[in-house]
Amino acid sequence: MPAVGAGRGFSRLSATDQFFVGLRAAVIALGAAWLLLTPHLGDRRQFGVLFSAFLIYTLLIYALILRTRWPVSRIYLSAQLLDLFFLFQLVRWTGGLKSVFALGFYLLVGLHSFYFGRRIGIMIATLAGLALVLSSPRVFQAEPWLDSTVRVGFLYLIAWSIALLANEEKHARRRAEELIAQLQNATRILEQAQKMALVGRLTAGIAHEINNPAAVILTRVERMLLEAEENLYSSALKKDLESLQKHARRVADIVQKMLAYSRSDSSASAAVNINEVIQQSVPLIEHRLAPRHLTLSLDLLQHLPRVYGNANRLEEAFVNLMTNAIDASSPGGQIHIASTISDGQGKEVQVSVSDEGEGIPQENMDKIFEPFFTTKPPGQGTGLGLYITYQILRDHRASISIESQPGKGTTVSIGFPRLEGVLTPPPSGRPLAAPR
């Protein structure tokens, strides 16, 4: 148990704290050597008592660090008075201002100005200067007084300059940590982009390989189904063929989504009326609303600025978002789609798709745009919808964010760069709000 406690205590020590441990150990070793080897030492017993007291006090400091949860910096700060006292006694007994140990005051001020900063450094310089002056019995004579003034002045100069350098070092270290964090983030983004590019190439290859046999299977199944109806085959066979047809169409739909993602055709891009794209997307999913008693409402701002993009690809993105909202909604719920213009100088065309469904667990929020990630039961989702939507919006320089609370629903917010000065009138002959 003591070893474990000591290990935990030493884990609290920073690199600077560990340097202080080594420095105190060096001071104790040099003090012991000086005490033993100095031939003309006045009262050796007096010095021995002082050295023993310093050793015990040092051990007490690190016992507090290892055995308590007190902040290390506060322990060191509280120890300064005793450090100054021991140094004062040593300097006073070895010649005052002329003692070689007077240099210890400068070391003490420099180290703690670096550790604690300018304010504490100036305070320690003041106490050290007072101790240095009072350590000489002839301090009030003219020449020693002038000499001690210069010595004390150097204490303040050391405290100020070391604290300034320490402050600059801390700023530089903090900036370096920020730059490292930014570099790591940029590296993660680059790695993700590389993965997405690889997935895109892989998707295109897989889609092309699957597309032809899937089309052949679907064609043959449809032909067999027609033959079964013409020749009055058994109902069980018809059901099997219908099931095969259903799943073959699903495979074909997945393949088309994969191909849509892998294509980078922008030849059909133009000024687009987002309200019109949304309204053209609604009929594609309306058949899924009635069976679950869901209500879809539109709140589209008139005279919305146009955006530059591919209407067909944007339509696919909105269909994916509406489909996800439908799948997440409980029976009798409501799905709300709104378009507006953001506030501020960098105005955007904003679209939101909200549902009152089960929401997204927090642990899944970082995964929702990954390919093939889905929380739907097997056979009910491919995990490509949001991924393809994200890629489409990225190609349109649009932003997308998702806010979700489990049990309260999800809101997907999209921001499109608008085309300046180009407004979209309401679609002719069509309402801007779907009937509820």
Bridge partner residues of 64 (DSSP): none
Query: To which H or E segment does residue 390 belong?
Result: helix 385-395
Is the separation of the CB atoms in 281 and 346 below 8 Å?
Answer: no
Nearest to 315 by CA among 355, 366, 281, 364: 281
Is the separation of the CB atoms in 330 and 357 below 8 Å?
Answer: yes
Task: Read off φ and ψ for residue 208, nearest 5 degrees.
Answer: -65, -35
Q: What is the DSSP code (8-state) at residue 70? A: S
Phi-psi map region of 84: left, alpha, beta (phi>0 left; psi -120 to 50 alpha): alpha
Give the C-alpha separation, 277 to 313, whole Å.
10
Which of 133-142, 145-154, 155-164, 195-204 has maximum average pLDDT? Answer: 155-164
pLDDT: which is higher, 415 or 269:
415
pTM (whole model) above 0.75: no
The domain locations on the chain are 2-182, 186-262, 271-424
pLDDT: which is higher, 124 or 4:
124
Architecture of domain 271-424: 2-Layer Sandwich (3.30)
How much is the pLDDT for 337? 94
Confidence band for 5, pLDDT divided at 50, 70 and 90: very low
Share of the chain above pLDDT 70, in %: 78
Q: Using alpha carbons only, give the angle 245, 249, 255 rounded to the nearest 5 degrees.
A: 145
328-357 pLDDT, tens digit per residue, is 888 888 999 999 988 766 678 999 999 988
Mean pLDDT of 138-166: 74
Say if residue 258's pLDDT is above 80: no
Assign 3-class secondary structure to 236-295: HHHHHHHHHHHHHHHHHHHHHHHHHHHCCCCCCCEEECHHHHHHHHHHHHHHHCHHHCCE
Say if residue 8's pLDDT is above 70: no
How much is the pLDDT for 414? 92
Say if residue 166's pLDDT is above 70: yes
